Amino acid sequence: MLILHPTIQTLLEESLGSSSRSNIGANPYRDVPSDNQRFIENDSGQQAILMREQDDQLEGISVTLVNMKETASTMHQEIDDQVILLEEMESHVDHTSDRLKKAMKKVVYILKKEEEAKSPYAIACLIIVLIILLILVITV
């Protein structure tokens, strides 16, 4: 049996508990979990918990990113479809604009022809009115 200073013996017994009193003398070099070992085990456990939580969070982020990618892909396809529709509409607007310009030219041409056609009739009517007025003036 190992004889220790009474203060050391008391501290050792308090730190190891009452069940280890009988074993101190038998094997003084046995493995006793120290505070450092317990701290390391506790810290390792906390790190494992944190890593699991981080893995869960990363999994959630991954799912969110996959959903965002699908949404972006759908938006891209929709924008491409809208571009095609806008190009078709632009083509139709250009075609309609060209047809409208041709129609306006025809309207202007017809109006000019009509004005030219009415001019001789207007002159003839004015000459007739002048002759009637001359006859009336001479007879009065």
pLDDT, tens digit, 9 for 90 and up, residues 79-137: 999 999 999 999 999 999 999 899 899 988 888 888 777 777 888 888 999 999 988 88
**Buried/exposed code over 17-27 (b: 16+ C-beta within 10 A; e: otherwise):** eeeeeeebeee
Per-residue CA distances from 32 to 20, 35, 37, 65, 109 (Å): 10, 10, 9, 49, 114
> What whole-number distance in Å separates Cα of residue 108 and Cα of residue 90?
27
More confident residue, 56 or 22: 56
Residue 18 inside a domain? The answer is yes
Residue 23 inside a domain? The answer is yes
pLDDT at 47: 87
Residue 2 inside a domain? The answer is yes
Domain that holds residue 28: 1-32
At 20, the pLDDT band (50, 70, 90 cuts) reads very low
More confident residue, 9 or 51: 51
More confident residue, 138 or 86: 86
pLDDT, tens digit, 9 for 90 and up, residues 49-90: 999 999 999 999 999 999 999 999 999 999 999 999 999 999
Q: Give the lowest-confidence range in 5-9, 29-33, 49-53, 100-104.
A: 29-33
Split into its structural domains, the chain has a count of: 1
- pTM for the full model? 0.44
**Buried/exposed code over 89-104 (b: 16+ C-beta within 10 A; e: otherwise):** eeeeeeeeeeeeeeee
Residue 3 inside a domain? The answer is yes
pLDDT at 21: 44
pLDDT at 36: 73
